[in-house]
Amino acid sequence: MRGLLGILVILKYCICGDVLHFDGDIKDFVVGNSKLFVLTDHRLHQMRHDLTEEKSKDTKATEHNRVNILVPFDENSTLITCGTFNDGYCEVLDINDITKSIYYESNILIGPRHDEKSVAFISGTSSSKYLLVGKKDEDAKPQDTRYSVVILWNTLHSQFGGIFSRIAEGSDAMIQSTVRDVEFVDGFQRVSPSESYLFLNTKTDSERKVLVLWINSSKERKRDIIRSLQASRIRCCSDKARPVLVASTVIPSVNRVIWAGVFSAQNQQDPENSALALYDISHVKGRVKGFCGIGENPCGSESDTELQPLSVVFKYSSMSAVTSVRSGSWIVLFIGTSDGQLIKLVLDGKYTPGCPTVLFKSDDERAVFPRMHFDPVDFKYIYIALKKQTDEHRGVFRDPGEIVKHRNTVYRQVCYGYVYYVFGKMCNAVICFMVCAERSNGRWLFPLSNVISVGACV
């Protein structure tokens, strides 16, 4: 890991990929089956996967109108957007043309009113899909002892109660918490079987914790989905407590659900402040204190069940984002940092990390947006957004993905007129070597002047 620091300065001369600049700060971005949607301060942009802009739409954002939900609903060919305008609204847009509004409903607040983090995605089976939203309860009164934290909203007119209704058959259906201070960081739905995972931070006077909530979304009825709740505390790590989850990714796996989280000790001075750890979350079984389906007494269990890491694969002062892809038995993790780097880390089948490689370093240390997305079609491209800092440097990057051929040979990466070859697995020889190649008359050249890094490996 020490050699990594030496690499950075040199690498910034080989910035790869297409860069797209926007007129405002990027607030959120999501990837659908054939489109990418980027929400900036004032506009919503619709793009093809190659970052060609197709449409854009004014969101009329003001202090009182923030778009707070942006969820592609591919099966319905729509994009669900909600915001805070006029006590809240939700709008269903045509996913192929966001300037076409299909449905609009006012006086409904589904996402967070203030700038809180939240998680929203489509959950359910092909016959019953809901918009699952996890967020802090902002309407709680001082005397309340339970707060609603996860709600399933209808997505179709044909569902009981109609579109954007939260009511369930017979009674309300939601997950409640006795802890007021919750922060939802990530969540996803697995397709087969249909099950949904949510990851959140909780904070009380005495303790901070990271939790995973699991629900069985193959059930048709909302109440049965909520009743299936299982939960566990996630601990990181044995060297020191890092009780705050910053970002996470699910690692594509066949028989198990392997998940990686970036955990922080909240001390930026510490060179090992953040740790990236892998967990097997295939069977979240048990409950935690203070989280339950509505009406359940007591709420949750007396003692928490706990998950410990399978492997802690990377430590760094300030990781802020992570995503992953599998290549045979290898796992490739892409890690974003709050000082603007994109680092690649390859793990073998036993979750042992190889050399970390810096793929990209921003000139002015802009933090990488916590969510990074792969192109959902071929997983060859990764989209990264950088947080604002200066006017010229706002953008989404489409970084060419890599073909990890063999650990002992080369990783190929095509960027503009360059390819860089990383002679990756030379860790045993203590050297990592990287060169930016040029294409000339149809041939690849590797001028020695283009050596961009020689460093020690971890």
Ligand X SMILES: *[C@@H]1O[C@H](CO)[C@@H](O)[C@H](O)[C@H]1NC(C)=O
Q: Encoding tokens for residue 301?
A: 């269990």
Window contacting ligand X (CB under 6 A); options: 213-221, 253-261, 385-393, 442-450: 213-221
Window contacting ligand X (CB under 6 A); options: 41-49, 60-68, 75-83, 105-113: 75-83
Torsion of CA 449, 451, 454, 458, to 10 degrees: 170
With respect to ligand X, which residue has the nearer C-beta, 204 or 282?
282
With respect to ligand X, which residue has the nearer C-beta, 55 or 219?
219
Binding positions for ligand X, 84-123, rule CB under 6 A: 103
Supply the minimum distance, in Å, between the C-beta of residue 77 and ligand X.
Answer: 6
Interacting residue with ligand X among 15, 163, 414, 456 (CB under 6 A): 163
Interacting residue with ligand X among 12, 117, 208, 219 (CB under 6 A): 219
Window contacting ligand X (CB under 6 A); options: 19-27, 70-78, 238-246, 392-400: 70-78
Interacting residue with ligand X among 156, 294, 426, 458 (CB under 6 A): 156
Supply the minimum distance, in Å, between the C-beta of residue 105 and ligand X.
Answer: 11
Three-state SS across 358-391? EEEECCCCCCECCCCEECCCCCCEEEEEECCCCC
Supply the minimum distance, in Å, between the C-beta of residue 163 and ligand X.
Answer: 5
With respect to ligand X, which residue has the nearer C-beta, 64 or 157?
157
Q: Encoding tokens for residue 316?
A: 């760094």
Q: What is the DSSP string of 44-93?
A: EEEEETT--EEEEEE---BTTB-EEEEEEEGGGTEEEEEE-GGG-EEEEE
Q: Encoding tokens for residue 156?
A: 């179709």
CB-CB contact of 34 with 48 (8 Å): yes
Query: How far apart are alpha carbons 376 and 119 in whole angstroms?
Result: 19
Query: How far apart are alpha carbons 257 and 190 in whole angstroms?
Result: 9
With respect to ligand X, which residue has the nearer C-beta, 156 or 414?
156
Q: Does residue 76 bind ligand X (CB under 6 A)?
A: yes
User: Backbone phi, then psi, for 32, in 5-degree steps?
Assistant: -100, -175
> In 406-427, which positions are buried (b, 16+ CB within 10 angstroms) versus exposed (e)?
ebeebbebbbeebbbbbbbbee
Window contacting ligand X (CB under 6 A); options: 74-82, 128-136, 273-281, 362-370: 74-82
Window contacting ligand X (CB under 6 A); options: 10-18, 76-84, 285-293, 397-405: 76-84
Q: Which residues contact 34 (CB under 8 A, 6 or more apart)?
A: 48, 49, 377
Q: Does residue 190 bind ligand X (CB under 6 A)?
A: no
Supply the minimum distance, in Å, between the C-beta of residue 159 and ligand X.
Answer: 8
Interacting residue with ligand X among 65, 165, 178, 218 (CB under 6 A): 218
Query: How far apart are alpha carbons 213 and 285 in whole angstroms?
Result: 10
With respect to ligand X, which residue has the nearer C-beta, 65 or 165?
165
Q: How many CB atoms lie within 10 A of CB 247?
A: 26
Supply the minimum distance, in Å, between the C-beta of residue 132 and ligand X.
Answer: 16
Q: What is the DSSP string of 172-241?
A: B-EEEES-SEEEEEEEEEETTTTEEEEEEEEE-SS-EEEEEEEEETTSSSHHHHHHT-EEEEE---SSS-
Supply the minimum distance, in Å, between the C-beta of residue 157 and ligand X.
Answer: 4
Q: Considering CB under 6 A, how many residues would be counted as binding ligand X?
A: 10
Interacting residue with ligand X among 33, 62, 77, 238 (CB under 6 A): 77
Supply the minimum distance, in Å, between the C-beta of residue 218 and ligand X.
Answer: 4
With respect to ligand X, which residue has the nearer C-beta, 198 or 404?
198
Query: How far apart are alpha carbons 101 and 202 in whole angstroms?
Result: 37
Q: Does residue 412 bind ligand X (CB under 6 A)?
A: no
Would you tell me which residues interact with ligand X (CB under 6 A)?
76-78, 103, 156-157, 163, 216, 218-219
